[in-house]
Amino acid sequence: MTGAGGPVDPPRPPAWLLLYALAWGGGVVAYTPLLTLLLPLRIAALGPGDKVGALSLAVLVGAVTASIANIAAGALSDRYARGPGGRRPWIVAGLVATAASYGLLGVVDSLTGILAAIALFQTGLNLMLAPLAALAADEVPDSQKGLLGGLMGAAYPLGALSGVLVMTAPSHEARLAVTVALVAILAAPFLLVFRVRAAAPPLIAPAPAVRARKARDLAAIWGARLLVQVAGAILFAYLLYYFETVEVAGERLAADRMAVRVAWLCGLAAAVTVPLSILLGRLSDVVRARKPFLQGAAVASAAGLVLMALFPDWAVAAWGYGLFAISSAIFLALQSTYAMQLLPSPDHRGRDLGVLNLTNTLPSILGPGLAYATVEAGGFRPLMALLAGLAMLAALLVSIVRER
- Region 4-33: what's the mean pLDDT? 82
- Residue 201's SS3 state is coil
For the chain, what is the radius of gyration of the CA atoms? 21
Among 16-25, 73-82, 387-396, name the one with the lowest average pLDDT.
73-82
Strand partners, 247: 313
Per-residue pLDDT for 255 more than 80?
Answer: no
Which residues are CB-neighbours of 265 under 8 A, at least 6 positions away? 318, 321, 322
Per-residue pLDDT band for 211 (boundaries 50, 70, 90) equals low
Among 158, 164, 157, 320, CA closest to 239: 320
The answer to whether residues 241 and 380 belong to one domain is: yes
The answer to whether residues 155 and 284 belong to one domain is: no
The answer to whether residues 187 and 218 belong to one domain is: no
Per-residue pLDDT for 200 more than 50?
Answer: no
For residue 5, tell me if it sits in a domain: no
Last residue of a domain, one of 142, 165, 193: 193
Q: What is the largest CA-CA distance in the chain?
A: 67
Number of domains in the chain: 2
Per-residue pLDDT for 7 more than 50?
Answer: no
User: With contact defined as beta carbons under 8 Å apart, do 141 and 10 qualify?
Assistant: yes
> For residue 15, how far is the Cα from the chain centroid?
22
Separation of alpha carbons 29 and 160, rounded Å: 8
Q: Three-state SS across 75-108?
A: HHHHHCCCCCCCCHHHHHHHHHHHHHHHHHHCCC
User: With contact defined as beta carbons under 8 Å apart, do 26 and 183 qualify?
Assistant: yes
The answer to whether residues 28 and 150 belong to one domain is: yes
Residue 323 domain boundaries: 208-400
- Residue 312's SS3 state is coil
The answer to whether residues 366 and 266 belong to one domain is: yes
Strand partners, 251: 248
For residue 66, tell me if it sits in a domain: yes
The answer to whether residues 222 and 331 belong to one domain is: yes
Among 216, 228, 204, CA closest to 342: 216
Per-residue pLDDT for 358 more than 70?
Answer: yes
Which residues are CB-neighbours of 315 under 8 A, at least 6 positions away? none
User: With contact defined as beta carbons under 8 Å apart, do 232 and 363 qualify?
Assistant: yes
> For residue 306, how far is the Cα from the chain centroid?
24
Per-residue pLDDT for 205 more than 70?
Answer: no
Q: If residue 24 lies in a helix (H) or strand (E), which one and from where to where?
A: helix 14-33
- Region 264-286: what's the mean pLDDT? 89
For residue 143, tell me if it sits in a domain: yes
Among 109, 102, 111, CA closest to 59: 111
Among 204, 223, 209, 221, CA closest to 341: 221
pLDDT digits (tens, 9 = 90+) for 311-333: 989 989 999 999 999 999 999 98
Scored b (16 or more CB within 10 A) or e, 3-24 reads bbeeeebeebeeebbebbbbbb
The answer to whether residues 169 and 315 belong to one domain is: no
- Region 98-113: what's the mean pLDDT? 93
The answer to whether residues 79 and 126 belong to one domain is: yes
Q: Which amino acid is at 102?
A: Y
The answer to whether residues 54 and 78 belong to one domain is: yes
User: With contact defined as beta carbons under 8 Å apart, do 298 and 327 qualify?
Assistant: yes
Last residue of a domain, one of 131, 159, 193: 193
Among 133, 157, 189, 183, CA closest to 275: 157
Separation of alpha carbons 383 and 390, rounded Å: 11
Task: For residue 217, give the DSSP letter.
Answer: H
For residue 376, tell me if it sits in a domain: yes
Last residue of a domain, one of 193, 226, 245: 193
pLDDT digits (tens, 9 = 90+) for 224-249: 999 999 998 888 767 777 888 888 87
Separation of alpha carbons 335 and 403, rounded Å: 13
Separation of alpha carbons 71 and 170, rounded Å: 37
CATH number at residue 62: 1.20.1250.20
Task: For residue 35, give the DSSP letter.
Answer: I
The answer to whether residues 233 and 306 belong to one domain is: yes
- Region 89-102: what's the mean pLDDT? 94
Which residues are CB-neighbours of 249 under 8 A, at least 6 positions away? 314
pLDDT digits (tens, 9 = 90+) for 127-146: 999 999 989 888 888 889 99
User: pTM for the whole thing?
Assistant: 0.80
The answer to whether residues 137 and 103 belong to one domain is: yes
